[in-house]
Amino acid sequence: MKSVTPDTATASCTSAARPRATSLQRWVWVHKWSSLVCTLFMLLLCLTGLPLVFYHEIDHALGKHIEAPEMAAGTAHLPVDRIVESARRHHPDLVPLYLFKEEDEPDMWVVKMDTRPDTDETQAKFSVVDARTGEILGEPRFDEGFMHLMYRLHVDLFAGLAGRLFLGFMGLLLVVALVSGVVLYAPFMRKLDFGEVRRGRSTKLWWLDMHNMLGIVTVTWALVVGGTGVINTWADLILKAWQAEQVAALKTAGGAAAGSGGSVAPLQSLVDAALAAEPGMAVATVAFPGTLLSAPSHYAVFLHGDTPLTAKLLKAVLVDPVSAAVIETKPRPWYATALLVSQPLHFGDYGGLPLKILWALLDLVTVVVLWSGLVLWWRKHRHAAAAPVSVTPAVSTAQGGT
């Protein structure tokens, strides 16, 4: 029988521990650099995202929200054709792109218009139209003011698609930093109780414990918001892919050119056809042919359900503008579903004001986590730079190669 001496046992333990230590060092490197690269941008996104969570509430408080005048309950709504006519008279040099209807404003339509259907929509104009009278109630401006500044900084840094994709990459780094932080937190907590913050010791130790405690408490929320934020930065690409899939489905169904020739049916009949094809749903958006959300020769009517979840999961129905026939297409692709879920979830827009308040509190906690990570790195970097360099005989020998 082979005997095991204390020395061989120690060597065996040491060799087993060495790969674990090396693996831990790799995770430390990954966490350090993924965090450092994205932290400043994540701080910017947290600070700009905070007012965006309360976008509607701030608009109401500032008196910028347009409301429909009070009328007798049950006042009939005009056909959507009349709504479009009112918007055209208001902006005779523009063409309609979309009609929007908010859940909480059933008596109003918002008409988005631009010079032609295939523009980038950055210079589009909006008209709010009373659904009962056709009167223009206002012309909201989304390209000015404090909230516009917050929105553009949060979405694309005023750099368009390139800015969106850059922030999406920063979001991916945040996810990497969060996952690596969880991996590093596991061995750290073997020595402490969960969430313990050691007091009465060094300030550096207090910052470290606060950073770890707040980070692990909010990690699930941060992963959700970070992941949905990354998906939202791909919105333009996802919508174009969805449009391409719709066009391909039209060709398969033999309806690619169905919209050409013949007189165009009333828009209200197209909307009614979409509603008849999907009973129990309501209209959220009508996209005109050639826009990003429709097909080149067909209208797309987006419908929603009446529950907190289905109200955000829009279903696109393509309608032939001549025959008012609903075109059978494939079910909504998974990537479009991911986008439709991510957009409201990113800002906590599922559970009303209570969920928004929770989102805001978690956002503030995340700011503390990010800031404490910067403080820890800066103090360590400053102390390392200020520390005197001493060369031990072992190090001297290693450097000399003898």
Report pLDDT digits (tens) over 32-73: 999 999 999 999 999 999 999 998 888 888 878 888 899 998
In the block, tokens 């941060």 appear at: 222
**How does pLDDT run across 315-350, given as a tens digit for each residue?**
889 999 999 999 876 788 899 889 988 988 899 887
- Of the listed ranges 19-28, 112-121, 271-280, 289-298, the one predicted with least confidence: 19-28
> What is the reported pTM?
0.81
Please report, as a single letter, which amino acid is at residue 309: L
What is the DSSP pairing of strand 315-319 with strand 282-287?
Answer: unpaired
Residue 188 contacts by C-beta under 8 Å, 6 or more apart in sequence?
A: 212
Element (H, E) at 239: helix 235-252
Residue 319 contacts by C-beta under 8 Å, 6 or more apart in sequence?
A: 270, 273, 274, 298, 299, 300, 301, 325, 326, 327
Residue 381, pLDDT above cutoff 80: no
Q: What is the pLDDT of residue 399?
A: 34
CA angle 8, 9, 11 (to 5 degrees): 60
Q: What average pLDDT does the structure give for the chain?
A: 84
Most confident of the ranges 111-115, 241-245, 247-251: 111-115
Q: What is the dihedral of CA 85, 87, 88, 91, to 10 degrees?
A: 160
Spell out the CATH class of 65-139. Answer: alpha beta
Q: What is the pLDDT of residue 400?
A: 38
